[in-house]
Structure 1
């Protein structure tokens, strides 16, 4: 993978997210007190203020809530990837949780592997995982109809 592409910023609160991703699992932090899910991960529940948390496994299914295809590419490392995208996915298991990623044709496919004319708000997607600069990240593929 190209080391000039953006990598996730790792911190203590989000470390379990990336550890589960490395195992091919999509998990979201939840409050062990009130049960509410939260993303991005943080030490305290915004609902009940508990510091107790647990990581809940998600199905990895969701729908495209929003997307953008930047023209021209905004960063030099992406200049060779015209048509790359950034999408916001609303999780099927937790509709208030939205994750940002890329829509690709397969786990290790290029960021521009899906034609922009295939993007639709509400399109169903499934998480897949690939390594970027030593960190396994979720990306998204269109679900088969």
Structure 2
């Protein structure tokens, strides 16, 4: 049986530390060294204060679902239908588009708490995914 290749990320110069942190399963995001604003996707300047000073810092991996969609058609072989995509606002502020692993929420998904987990795809690519946070109250 052939393994469907995971579409490769296309990191730009500012994204390289992000993808390295994913591969190490230790998610880090760019943070402004002047005002402290986390940002994703990474970029050359802070949208809050226009500073070019940046650090890369670990994030909690906790967040809240802002939006979701279930694709009922397979568009890429690595992501067979049904394929769930979620928009998560991390507790640190940035919004990340990813996938929901495990059971789906009942009723509305909006405001459901999620936690980061790392999934190794069949071809060995590590991706950040989220699952419902059963410890959230």
- Whole-Å separation in 1 of the counterparts to 2:62 and 2:104: 21
Spell out, residue by residue over 1:46-96, the C-alpha distance to the aligned partner (whole angstroms, 9 max, x if none). Answer: 2222211001211111111111012333x14267x221111101112x23x
* TM score, norm. by length of structure 1: 0.78
Q: Distance in 2 between matches of 1:122 and 1:41?
A: 25
Q: Secondary structure at the match of 1:46?
A: coil
In structure 2, C-alpha distance between the alignment counterparts of 1:7 and 1:72, rounded to whole Å? 21
For residues 100-143 of structure 1, give each alpha carbon's deviation from its aligned partner in whole angstroms, at most 9, with x where no partner exists: 110012xxxxxxxx457577111111111123455422001111
1:100 paired residue number:
97
CA contact (8 A) 1:63 1:89 kept: yes
CA RMSD, 1 decimal: 2.3
Distance in structure 1 (CA, Å) of the matches to 2:108 and 2:101: 11
- Aligned residue number for residue 11 of structure 1: 12
Does structure 1 retain, via aligned residues, the 8 Å contact 2:27–2:59?
Answer: yes
